[in-house]
Structure 1
Amino acid sequence: MTKLSVNINKVATLRNARGGNNPDVEKVALDCERFGAEGITVHPRPDERHIRYADVYALRPLLKTEFNIEGYPSKEFIDLVLKVKPHQVTLVPDAPDQITSNAGWDTKTNQSFLADLMETFGNAGIRTSIFVGTDAEMIEYAAKAGADRVELYTEPYASLYLESPEAAVAPFVEAAKITRSLGMGLNAGHDLSLVNLKYFHESIPWLDEVSIGHALICDALYLGLEKTIKEYKTCLH
């Protein structure tokens, strides 16, 4: 079964825009679980423009499903993850001022750096995932670094999907096969939506997890959060 992990960053963005605690990030996370999500994802950034470090600490004892913390492995981020001990840490190569993740790691150039992190997090009992594109060499070096999983960056798939679903998904199917052959688990995320998720999952049914935030929260504005989560889960079953 492919798990749905809901990224709640956009909920925190809305809260921070006005101040106070509306919407309540903790309540939304618990509601996502109650409505059927199998995980919660957060991506704290250095400027705390959406999820704050305090949110991460507050969420950890409340959540009953898998907790995934993603982000660039700065010293502050590493310290946070080791203190919170989520089920999974997903490393992304974001600069501090990036609006959103828009590329995977160059795992070959950064192999030593990533390998040290895989060992650090692994020794703490935290499952590791590295954000990558579909290039076979990058996936192979993620395996060499010791990653438990990779998360495929799916924006190129989403961008091409409406023009040609088959062409859009083809490199991701090959990347998924390589990942499986190397013994790693497989996650995916970025611009997956109710429009394109079902076809992606049908093409790669052995996906372990998809992490979806922006599209899901946008859909919830129209459909409501409970119905939206059920619709996404239907795409995965």
Structure 2
Amino acid sequence: MTKLSVNINKLATLRNARGGNVPNLVKAVKDIESFGAEGITVHPRPDQRHIRYQDIHDLKDVVGTEFNIEGNPIPKFIDLVLSAKPAQVTLVPDAEEAITSNAGWDTIKHKDFLKDVIATFKEHGIRTSIFVDPEVSMVEGAAKVGTDRIELYTESYAIGYPKNPEKALQPFIKAAVVAKELALGLNAGHDLNLDNIAYFKKHVPHLLEVSIGHALICESIYLGLDNVINMYKNRLRE
């Protein structure tokens, strides 16, 4: 079964909007795991507009499932990850001013940089994943930098799904097949939701994990967090 990692950035955004500690992220993580999630994802950014660096320290001994820290590997981020020692670090090339992640790595252009950063994390026993577009050349480049996994950037699938899901999915199937051939583990995330996740899971082979935040939290406003987490898990079993 494909694992569900819940990204809690939006909960942190809600907390930060009013100050204080509501919702309490430590309690939220415990609840999310008790509802059945197999992982917790956070994506701290330099301006700390949602997840704060202190949150990582508060959560590192609380998460009982797999802790996944995403982000651009600037020096401060690298130090944070090495201090927290999560199960997985996902490298994302997001610019500081970006509202959300909007592109995968050019694994050919940034080969030497990625190789050095990944080696640092793996020396400390941290599984590495890198965010890539569903392009065969980028997957092949990822294999050459020594990463354990890739995370396919799924925005194009989410955009294309309503009109032609089969067409929208083709690049992801090709990328998944190549990743398997190159012994890369496969994750996916960005704009996946209750409407499109089952089709993605059914047709993309070798999918180990999906990371979902924005849609899951928005859906939970109407349907409840416990209910939504289990709705995702049911779709990931199909």
Tell whether the structures are fold-level matches, with TM greater than 0.5.
yes
The residue identity in structure 2 corresponding to 1:181 is E
Does the 8 Å CA contact 2:179/2:186 hold for their aligned counterparts?
yes
Partner of 1:126: 126
Q: CA deviation at 1:205?
A: 4.2
Partner of 2:147: 147
Q: CA deviation at 1:135?
A: 1.2
Partner of 1:47: 47
Aligned residues between the structures:
237
Partner of 1:169: 169
Q: Is 1:61 the counterpart of 2:53 in the alignment?
A: no
Partner of 2:32: 32
RMSD: 0.6
The residue identity in structure 1 corresponding to 2:125 is G
What residue ranges of structure 2 are gaps of 5+ in the alignment?
A: none
Does the 8 Å CA contact 2:177/2:205 hold for their aligned counterparts?
no
The residue identity in structure 1 corresponding to 2:235 is C
Name the TM-score, length of structure 1 as normaliser: 0.99
SS, match of residue 236 in structure 1 = helix
Q: CA deviation at 1:104?
A: 0.3
Question: Which 4+ residue blocks in structure 1 deviate beyond 4 angstroms?
Answer: none
What residue ranges of structure 1 are gaps of 5+ in the alignment?
A: none
Distance, in Å, in 1 between the alignment partners of 2:97 and 2:110 is 20
Q: How does 1:1-237 map to 2 (within 5 A)?
A: 1-237=1-237
SS, match of residue 106 in structure 2 = coil
Distance, in Å, in 1 between the alignment partners of 2:206 and 2:172 is 12
Distance, in Å, in 2 between the alignment partners of 1:167 and 1:228 is 27
| Structure 1 residues 201-237: Cα deviation after superposition (integer angstroms, max 9, x where no partner) | 0002420100000000000000010001000101100
| Structure 1 residues 61-116: Cα deviation after superposition (integer angstroms, max 9, x where no partner) | 01110000000000000000001000000000011111000110001000000000
Distance, in Å, in 1 between the alignment partners of 2:148 and 2:83 is 20
Distance, in Å, in 2 between the alignment partners of 1:104 and 1:115 is 16
Distance, in Å, in 2 between the alignment partners of 1:36 and 1:45 is 27
